[in-house]
A and B are shown apart, each in its own frame.
Chain A
Amino acid sequence: MVTIPYLTAITTYFSYGIYFSLGQLRDLFRKIIDWRKPDDLQGYAPICLGLEDFYVRRLYLRIQDCFGRPIAGAPDAWFDVVERYTTDNFKTIKRTSKTTRCLNLGSYNYLGFAASDEYCTPRVIDSLKRFSASTCSARAAGGTTRLHTELEESVAKFVGKPAAIVFGMGYVTNSAILPVLIGKGGLIISDSLNHNSIVNGARGSGATIRVFLHNTPSHLEEVLREQIAEGQPRTHRPWKKIIVVVEGIYSMEGDICKLPEIIAVCKKYKAFAYLDEAHSIGAVGKTGRGVCELLGVDTADVDIMMGTFTKSFGSCGGYIAGSKELIQYLKYTCPTHLYATAVSPPCAQQIISAIKVILGEDGSSRGAQKVARIRENSNFFRSELQKMGFEVLGDYDSPVMPIMLYNPAKIPAFSRECLKQNVAVVTVAFPATPLLLARARICISASHTKEDLIKGLEVISDIGDLVGIKYFQAEPKKRQQEEGRVKLN
């Protein structure tokens, strides 16, 4: 895990303290000035009470231009970022019609399917003609087309499970499946850094939730032993079932979960394993089949495998893969399958074609090249950043690399300076990460060429010197240059 140097921690707390007190001062002035003004709420309670939106109003709005930047084209390796301006000190931002061409280091485009592709796009347009943009009904109420059944078979084959079911959105997949599988009297043990959709699904299910330390199988074992021995809270009856939820690659840390040890622990204590491969399916593994292939885990050992199509397949939607009985049961009772609109047919076709390309069934070796290229690119980028002295999180082979910033003032500085030099990066702060640990997150794609990566590295290195985020010792320049030459050759 990340260990923050003392001086940095003190300065970060100090900065936040200044922002907080300034914000409170401004709120006080606002209250004094608005004392005389009549309240135009007329007896209704305000939408945001008290300090609920303090963070938004006083801290987030100052750096609003670093987030939500609109683009005017496909999110490929290079894209057009729309320029924006503000007239009232960032309370509102308006867009212009001018755009800047920037290097894209922020979108989830791991295998490069984001823009129109020579194999996939003609087929997508064909399916648009045949099935139109939407089925306008739920899967169980006349929304299942041939494409959907083909898609489910194709996904099941790719992931390595007997059957699969597909939904229109990845977030809803997690939120709606966990309540179906487990209810009151069950126990969900989830990693402390799990995604918001898993947390929402766990809360909606009504089961008891316990958390184990991030990626620590020994602590998971401790928690399991303690919970099985104690039973349900207050009544001490034995638990009905236990589900352990982990992710393949954690989106804010970039590290890969220790799957073999966690599966061994789950088997020993008879708990069910739920693996969320949102970022890892298609992006890791020798043939792109995800974390199970990378770490050598048999897919039959993981009871429920979930994933999304947004990141590596350039489409939208989520899937659940498991045994035939599980999928049959989900089709009978999952609310998303029964009530929500089915996956849009062109999206379904895009996924089917992308899977065909990855497996090489389109007759070319583009898929294998893409999978190999993303691994090379990520490893190259990560090792170069570490040599420059940046603090980079995550494991090798993972295409997500967060660079630590810590101080709140460095967030807009890094983001804006990079944009001036035509590199688009993503910066993340509280509340998506802990307060002290703000970071910039880089996502590498298979469509980045070596030149793109080198340009990105140069820009980041310059700005890193300017902003002061090289927390580690850089390796001596001469050896770095030599090694650089060797690598490029």
Chain B
Amino acid sequence: MDFGHTCNRDDVNPLNCNQLTRDGESISEIISAGSVPRKANSWITMDFSVMSILSNGLDWFKVEYDPPLARAVVFGVPIGGHLVVEALLVIAILFLLLQKSYKPPKRPLTEKEIDMLCEEWVPESLIPPLTEEMKYESPVLDSAAGPHTVIDGREVVNFASTNYLGLIGNEKLHESCTAAVEKYGVGSCGPRGFYGTIDVHLDCEERIAKFLGTPDSILYSFGISTMFSAIPALCKKGDIIVADEGVHWAIQNGLHLSRSTIVYFKHNDMESLGNTLEKITRENKRVTKVRRYIVVEAIYQNSGQLAPLDVIVKLKEKYRFRVLLDETNSIGVLGDCGRGLSEHYRIPVEKIDVITAAMGSALATDGGFCTGSVKVVDHQRLGSSGYVFSASLPPYLASAAITAFDILEENPHLITKLKRNITLLLEGLSDLPGLSIASNPQSPLVFLKLKRTTGSFQNDLQLLEDIADLMLKEDSVFVVASKRSTLDKCRLPVGIRITINRCRKSMS
């Protein structure tokens, strides 16, 4: 509303103000837009009396304040002040501001459009196209995977099975398995909670706890499911886990399923571990309220390195983290009696919170176990999905495990023989052309990696596989190149894996 020039008090007359507006609207039209039509005179009279009272009040107001600027005329009565008009303006502005902005109405897709989209969509194929290297078939054994085995009708020396103590083919083991199969059948036909618990399982758990010196233990039915069921049971969302970057796939899967925060440190580098722990403790204020774990392996499957447990225990006590140790390749191998890494470093086993292991290596059986304090083990009996929702270990394998522990306790000289063989073999392999030893001198899992890498992961792997094939064909020695799955996040270099057995008679 723009007035051409200010109306004076004298001008104020509905009929006079016709000329005053710029935008062609007469004030009278504006004013009378909401008012009563002129015809009702009595109404206007009543109006006038009301308005006169109002105008008197406003006049008083004006006397006090005397606002400048234009005057408005309301209901034919000159009102001193533009307050009403400005109030109306403010109301109009507020009304417009509070209006929602215009949005085009949302229409859901029609059935025809959905049909069209469904027809047009083309999925990828289930698997990528097969390449040459995918067609590789591993050699097939015709006999037990002992120190000497038969492949394609020829007898070869077996450096590929993790049969460290040479228990494959042992008479006592064989007898106990046969007795168990005849008594219990082969499978256990049920999960542990529903009549799948056989007395052999309970005996085996007690035996493991007694052998290692821990309060309690729990038995899993498959080696790799141990780690990836135990970790999600103990760590939940919001917890902090510090893991070595070279841990094997089962642990990586367990870490992923636990949905905790995971921080990796450099492979077997204690300085990097210390720095990581320091950083986490400093950054996190609530750090004492969340559960914190360090996950390491005793002998790393991917590189053969040994974890320095004494340094780790010192760090753990300083920063109050719990240690989760995977002893798959070290149970029955390290230490004077084969009790694993803690015996090797002479550290009391109570300092390690959780020990897990797959029994598929030195103990020549299958399955896995997890030991620790009573609270840790009991929690897993209901909280670990690989234990609750899966059938239990076949009873003959559990009785084989008990017999293996008995044999180990009665014959500690097996371990000394193994250690001697390791030193012998490493001497012989110390200056091979093109390959260098990448693993710890005390580990029975020897890793040979290329001195000069060809640059690409795939080419390295191809070269190593060719070397392994050649050794099998010409020298009758069976070794394997370590394989990596596409899901594996570990970036350590591949190598040829040689496993040492205590019954090696000829080293060439």
Contact = CB atoms under 8 A, between A and B. Distances in A.
A22 interface: no
Interface string A127-141: 011111111110111
B126 interface: yes
A68 B197 CA distance: 6
B308 interface: no
- Residue of B139, B177, B202 with highest tally of chain A CB at under 10 A: B177
Interface in A221-235: 224-226, 228-229
A144 B141 contact: yes
Given A45-B289, A142-B480, A128 B177 contact: yes
A136 B257 CA distance: 27
Given A71-B195, A142-B145, A142-B478, A335 B485 contact: yes
Nearest to B259: A203
- Residue of B123, B163, B249 with highest tally of chain A CB at under 10 A: B123
Nearest to B368: A341
B161 A68 contact: no
A428 to B, nearest CB: 8
A333 B483 CA distance: 9
Nearest to A345: B144
B224 A128 contact: no
Given A73-B184, A172-B222, A140 B189 contact: no
B396 A133 contact: yes
- Residue of B130, B134, B190, B195 with highest tally of chain A CB at under 10 A: B195
Given A70-B199, A121-B181, A347-B186, A269 B118 contact: yes
B143 interface: yes
Contacts of B161: 135-137, 142-143
A128 B253 contact: no
Interface stretch (B66-74, B374-382, B407-415): B374-382
Given A137-B162, A181-B126, A314-B185, A336 B234 contact: no
B126 A350 contact: no
Given A116-B185, A229-B113, A240-B123, A328 B130 contact: yes
Given A75-B189, A309-B187, A344-B397, A200 B257 contact: yes
Contact of A270 (B121, B139, B393): B121
Contacts of A467: none
Contacts of A139: 138
B192 interface: yes
B139 A344 contact: no
B365 interface: yes
Interface stretch (A105-113, A283-291, A379-387, A469-477): A105-113
Contact of B224 (A109, A181, A339, A350): A339
Contact of A347 (B130, B361, B394, B488): B394
A269 B160 CA distance: 47
Contacts of B125: 241
Contacts of B114: 225-226, 228-229
A473 B365 CA distance: 53
A21 B143 CA distance: 62
Contacts of A333: 134, 485-487
A367 B302 CA distance: 46
Interface string A351-365: 000000000000000
Interface string B336-364: 00000000000000000000001011001
B391 interface: yes
A241 B202 CA distance: 45
Interface in B89-143: 109, 113-114, 117-118, 121-128, 130, 133-136, 138-143
Interface in B160-217: 160-163, 168-169, 173-174, 177-178, 181-190, 192-199, 201-202
Contacts of A239: 121, 123
Nearest to A42: B320
Given A106-B190, A144-B138, A149-B140, A325 B182 contact: no
Contacts of B486: 180, 333
A377 interface: no
Contacts of B195: 69, 71, 75, 79, 81, 104, 106-107, 424, 426
Given A60-B382, A68-B192, A43 B144 contact: no
Given A47-B291, A56-B382, A134 B365 contact: yes
A205 to B, nearest CB: 9
Nearest to A97: B199
A33 interface: no
Chain B contact residues (Cβ within 8 angstroms of A): what range?
Answer: 35 or more
Nearest to B135: A328
A67 B168 contact: no
A318 to B, nearest CB: 10
A315 to B, nearest CB: 5
A44 B189 contact: no
Contact of B174 (A67, A74, A128, A149): A128
A133 B397 contact: yes
B360 A136 contact: yes
Contact of A43 (B140, B320, B376, B382): B320
B423 to A, nearest CB: 22
Nearest to B126: A272
B190 A75 contact: yes
Interface string A234-266: 000011111000000000000000000000000
A390 interface: no
B487 A45 contact: no
A73 B202 CA distance: 13
B138 A45 contact: no
B364 A133 contact: yes
A245 to B, nearest CB: 14
A414 interface: no
B168 A107 contact: no
A249 to B, nearest CB: 16
Contacts of A179: 253, 487
Contacts of A311: 189
A49 B289 CA distance: 9
A344 B394 contact: yes
A82 interface: yes
Contact of B123 (A76, A125, A169, A242): A242
A288 B196 CA distance: 24
A303 interface: yes
B385 interface: yes
Nearest to A325: B130
A307 to B, nearest CB: 13
Interface in A289-341: 303-304, 308-311, 313-316, 325-326, 328-329, 332-336, 338-341
B248 interface: yes
Contacts of B124: 240-241
Contact of A329 (B134, B193, B228): B134
Q: Which 9 A-B residue pairs are closest in the complex by CB-CB distance?
A: A142-B160, A341-B360, A169-B222, A171-B390, A310-B391, A132-B144, A332-B134, A137-B161, A335-B485
Interface of A: 42-49, 52-53, 56, 60, 67-76, 79, 81-82, 95, 104, 106-109, 113-117, 120-121, 124-125, 128-137, 139-146, 148-149, 168-172, 175-176, 179-181, 195-197, 200, 203-204, 224-226, 228-229, 238-242, 269-272, 303-304, 308-311, 313-316, 325-326, 328-329, 332-336, 338-341, 344, 346-347, 350, 424, 426
11 contacts: A49-B289, A140-B483, A142-B138, A149-B140, A170-B391, A270-B121, A316-B221, A316-B394, A328-B134, A329-B130, A346-B181
